[in-house]
A and B are shown apart, each in its own frame.
Chain A
Amino acid sequence: MTTVQSGGGVELLEKLGNGPDGKPPLGCMQCGLCAGSCPLGTAMEFPPRKLILQASAGNLDKVLSSPSLWMCVACYTCSQRCPRGIELTDGLWPALRDAAMQQGFQPPTELQETFQNIFKYGNTLGKSARQRLDWAKDLDVRVLDLSKEPRPVEVLWLVGCYPSYYPRNQVVTRAFARILTELGTVWGVLGAKEKAIGECDRMFGEEGLFETLVEENRKLLDKQQFAKIVVLDPHAYRALQNFYPRFEAWYPVQHYTQFLAERLEQLKPLMVKPVAATVAYHDNCCLGRRCGCYDPPRSLLDLVPGLKRVEMANNRENALCCGGGGGGMWLDSHIVAHGGRRLSDDRVRQAAETGADTLVVSCPYELPRFEDAAKVTGLQGRLAVRDIIELLAESMDLGERSVA
């Protein structure tokens, strides 16, 4: 992350070019593909193209004080389409937000609360660390808490904040515990010691908070013996894969779809119950557009007997964003107040247009986001939202049914 003094737009853009996030924004030729592709570009005072123009003209304060600085939800479309390969999402936006906070500009209040929750409690929801393992209460499989009983494991599962605390997500979390156990994996969790990985802070320019979390997580992870880390959250996957190594913190990590897709042959005979559903899979931006992981989730869905899979008009690298990435999860009110809209509403409508009865996701933010969107758009009852894990667990006949 690069920090600058007021007015130093060119300096900032130059420094960014020397950083780990790709080519210099000063190479921008103002083609406008970024702004035209941005799902919230029409609502932004400074979409990416204008942002670079103003910053390079030295009008940094204008950019830093604008509400549009806090409207990017990290869908990565601009970064993916930029013909000059400029890393806008991972590089420019976080750097400008960091610069804004360094100069005393306040981030939106709902985001401040989330940052403070992470700083104080180690989770985005402001819950007690002691309740982090509550999802495992009365579970029918054994959950090994490695922070209490350290031992070598094949999989260290970093459960994540929403999957640990949010009731709807806990259904998926419990199902994944059952699947891991059914597969015979030796796995464990960090229980009350686990902390947020911090991707949302980094993307929102809270670099100091991110560094604090990297330090704390390193201390925790370095004490454990594991072959790999598995996460439910694509953002945590991305952070461990790409941002932690910048602090010399290297850990082998897989998103759960990648972990399970390596075990298709083992899973296949376990799919004993047909699931009668027509499903549309939502490529989340972080796993899909950013990391290019499109096929593993689909290959898992194709294992489920009785399941019919359809594609939405926008899929794979052209998928629409749920609006929750990089901190957007907490910014709906800010975005709507400044002329934007909830992108998840667009996405559930598109899912319904395919005739699917179920929108399938593989990111913990999306269950609450899309279920809320289904209520708002009047699709509740017609369109269920379920995680891939829930469909697999149902077909494997593992315990409780989803609440969908």
Chain B
Amino acid sequence: MKIAVVVRQVPDLIEPLEIDASGAALDLSSASFIVNESDDHALEQAILLKEAGGATVDVVALDFGDVDNTLYTAAAKGADRIFKVPLEGLPPPPRATAALLAEAIKPLAADLVLVGVQAHDELDGGVSPFLAAALGLPYVGVIRGVKAGPEPGMVTVCKEFPGAVMARMKVKLPAVLGILGADQPPRYVSVSRIRAAMKSTQFEERAVPTPPPEPLLSVCRLYPPVSGSRAEMLAGSEADVAARIAEILAEKGLVK
């Protein structure tokens, strides 16, 4: 099985986010970037499938936001090949990002494309379904675990629905899966192994000619949430506070 995994860099929320002079975008000039969490799970899932037998793992990333560290870590975890898509400036909105990634992924002829189901910088929709559409492949999202089989050319996935309902599905390949979580948390690789990967890994460049599609929506104004004053502060003894909490829960119909 040939697996392609998408990893994206997103702004790291340990730094306070600032709005730029236009008032309609974040000031990313002093932001730092980390790997998108669900993409990290997509990579873990790919490595687990490889370890379970016979898969190859290609990682595709836009060249943006300290992505090299993330890619060396992916190599240290066991990715076979790493492709970087050159990018001028910031990544475009999701539809355009999906179009760029699709152009880079097509030549890989992957059986299975794994991509994080969400990222906290997605604005006009999620990259993962757009990517499936751009590749002309079927899509299943919100996946929590993938196994090869039961038949060749097929994977079995665990899909999460609202209300804690889980479904087990057989998916015919090729397909794109939007990963929420891998079968196990992303593994730790020691820095020695990352440093070794820095010395031994060559990235391949995938220049993509396609002009990105125009965004469907534009931002008029960006502003921090306005704090309201509807919180009820509970005071008194522990017993009074506990009694009031029980009352509130009953009022809201949360307990009977």
Min Cβ gap B97→A in Å is 24
Contact of B191 among A109, A128, A130, A209 (CB under 8 A): A209
Identify the interface centre among B187, B190, B193: most chain A CB within 10 Å of its CB: B190
Tell whether B89 is near chain A: CB-to-CB under 8 Å.
Answer: no
Tell whether A314 is near chain B: CB-to-CB under 8 Å.
Answer: no
Query: Residues of B within 8 Å of A, CB-based: how many?
Result: 14
> Scoring A residues 155 to 184 as 1 if CB is less than 8 Å from chain B, else 0, what string do you get?
000000000000000000000000000000
> Scoring B residues 182 to 225 as 1 if CB is less than 8 Å from chain A, else 0, what string do you get?
00010110111111000000000000000000000000000000
Q: B190 to chain A: which residues have CB within 8 Å?
A: 98, 101-102, 205-209
Q: A120 to chain B: which residues have CB within 8 Å?
A: 12, 34
Tell whether B14 is near chain A: CB-to-CB under 8 Å.
Answer: yes
Question: CB distance B188 to A107 under 8 Å?
Answer: yes
Tell whether B238 is near chain A: CB-to-CB under 8 Å.
Answer: no
Question: CB distance A102 to B192 under 8 Å?
Answer: yes
> Scoring A residues 202 to 245 as 1 if CB is less than 8 Å from chain B, else 0, what string do you get?
00011111011000000000000000000000000000000000
Contact of B192 among A116, A127, A208 (CB under 8 A): A208
Q: Which residue of B lies closest to A113 (CB)?
A: B188
Question: CB distance A98 to B15 under 8 Å?
Answer: no
Query: How distant is the Cα of A209 from the Cα of B192 in the complex, in angstroms?
Result: 7
> Scoring B residues 1 to 37 as 1 if CB is less than 8 Å from chain A, else 0, what string do you get?
0000000000010111000000000000000001000
Min Cβ gap B227→A in Å is 22
Question: CB distance A126 to B14 under 8 Å?
Answer: yes
Query: How distant is the Cα of A106 from the Cα of B44 in the complex, in angstroms?
Result: 14
Q: B14 to chain A: which residues have CB within 8 Å?
A: 121, 126-128
Q: How many residue pairs between the two chains, A and B, have CB atoms under 8 Å in the bound complex?
A: 47
Query: How distant is the Cα of A128 from the Cα of B12 in the complex, in angstroms?
Result: 10
Q: Which residue of B lies closest to A120 (CB)?
A: B34
Q: A130 to chain B: which residues have CB within 8 Å?
A: 15
Min Cβ gap A195→B in Å is 14
Tell whether A318 is near chain B: CB-to-CB under 8 Å.
Answer: no
Which secondary structure dominates where chain B touches chain A? loop
Query: How distant is the Cα of A206 from the Cα of B195 in the complex, in angstroms?
Result: 12
Q: Which residue of B lies closest to A116 (CB)?
A: B188
Tell whether A66 is near chain B: CB-to-CB under 8 Å.
Answer: no
Chain A interface: which size bin?
20 to 34
Question: CB distance B194 to A208 under 8 Å?
Answer: yes
Question: CB distance B188 to A212 under 8 Å?
Answer: no
Tell whether A135 is near chain B: CB-to-CB under 8 Å.
Answer: no
Min Cβ gap B16→A in Å is 8
Q: Which residue of A lies closest to B187 (CB)?
A: A106
Min Cβ gap A207→B in Å is 6
Question: CB distance B195 to A212 under 8 Å?
Answer: yes
Min Cβ gap A4→B in Å is 13
Question: CB distance A207 to B15 under 8 Å?
Answer: no
Query: How distant is the Cα of A209 from the Cα of B193 in the complex, in angstroms?
Result: 10
Query: How distant is the Cα of A109 from the Cα of B186 in the complex, in angstroms?
Result: 10
Tell whether A251 is near chain B: CB-to-CB under 8 Å.
Answer: no
Min Cβ gap B114→A in Å is 21
Identify the interface centre among A119, A120, A128, A208: most chain B CB within 10 Å of its CB: A208
Min Cβ gap B66→A in Å is 10
Question: CB distance B191 to A102 under 8 Å?
Answer: no
> Scoring A residues 1 to 17 as 1 if CB is less than 8 Å from chain B, else 0, what string do you get?
00100000000000000
Question: CB distance B192 to A98 under 8 Å?
Answer: yes
Identify the interface centre among B12, B185, B188, B195: most chain A CB within 10 Å of its CB: B188
Tell whether A18 is near chain B: CB-to-CB under 8 Å.
Answer: no
Extra inter-chain contacts (9) besides given A98-B190, A102-B190, A208-B190, CB under 8 Å: A101-B193, A115-B191, A120-B34, A128-B14, A206-B191, A207-B192, A208-B191, A208-B193, A208-B195
In the A-B complex, the 7 residue pairs with the closest CB atoms:
A208-B192, A208-B191, A209-B191, A112-B188, A101-B190, A128-B14, A128-B15
**Which A residues lie at the B interface, using CB under 8 A?**
3, 98, 101-102, 106-107, 109, 112, 115-116, 119-121, 126-128, 130, 205-209, 211-212
Could you write out 16 A-B pairs with CB less than 8 Å apart? A101-B188, A102-B192, A106-B187, A112-B188, A115-B188, A116-B188, A120-B12, A126-B14, A128-B14, A206-B191, A207-B190, A208-B190, A208-B191, A208-B193, A209-B191, A212-B191
